[in-house]
Homo-oligomer: A and B are copies of this chain.
């Protein structure tokens, strides 16, 4: 995936041999730019709820959070065990509903608006990479059905980018295509 997904990449390409310099007398100032394009998010097939079953979804989300807690991302979770469990529970409600289960998330919390909900935590590109990397291990360890891994991955991969609200580099967040391994 070396495609251009930011306007700044595009203008870098255009200006390859003519990068404006601050020392250039004729330089009027930097152009308008956008940071990067948050990609479209496509939900995975709704039958996943029946195929996985609520118990396995619950296990998956809990396992993901338990592993994350041991990484840099863990700083974002409550230290208190009961509060941590609540966080996992809330996330589980979201996954259950997103994968085709009952409306247990929206009944309690309203629309997901996950980006907005995460503004309270500072989430950078590295956090997103770790989150996704750990999810990869989870899918393998819990024996997630092979035939649904690609659409599931493409969902969470695009979704994870939306949570980034702290930028630490000019480069667009790395896309992580599905990989059978």
Chain A interface (Cβ within 8 Å of chain B)?
A: 21-23, 27-43, 97-98, 103, 105-106, 111-112, 115-116, 119, 122, 155, 158, 162, 165-170
Picked from B32, B34, B98, B167, the residue with its CB within 8 Å of the CB of A119 is B167
A contact patch SS: loop
User: Which residues from B are CB-within-8-Å of A111?
Assistant: 21-22
CB distance from A173 to the nearest CB of B (A): 12
Query: How many copies, total?
Result: 2
Query: Do A34 and B28 have beta carbons less than 8 Å apart?
Result: no
User: Which residues from B are CB-within-8-Å of A169?
Assistant: 116, 119
The 5 closest A-B pairs by CB, nearest first: A29-B41, A165-B167, A32-B40, A29-B42, A34-B34
CB distance from A154 to the nearest CB of B (A): 10
Q: Which residue of B lies closest to A21 (CB)?
A: B111
Query: Do A29 and B35 have beta carbons less than 8 Å apart?
Result: no
Query: Do B29 and A155 have beta carbons less than 8 Å apart?
Result: yes
Q: Which residue of B lies closest to A36 (CB)?
A: B34
CB distance from A62 to the nearest CB of B (A): 22
User: Which residues from B are CB-within-8-Å of A21?
Assistant: 111
What is the bound-complex CA distance between A43 and B41, given in angstroms? Answer: 39
Q: Which residue of B lies closest to A106 (CB)?
A: B23
What is the bound-complex CA distance between A39 and B97, given in angstroms? Answer: 39
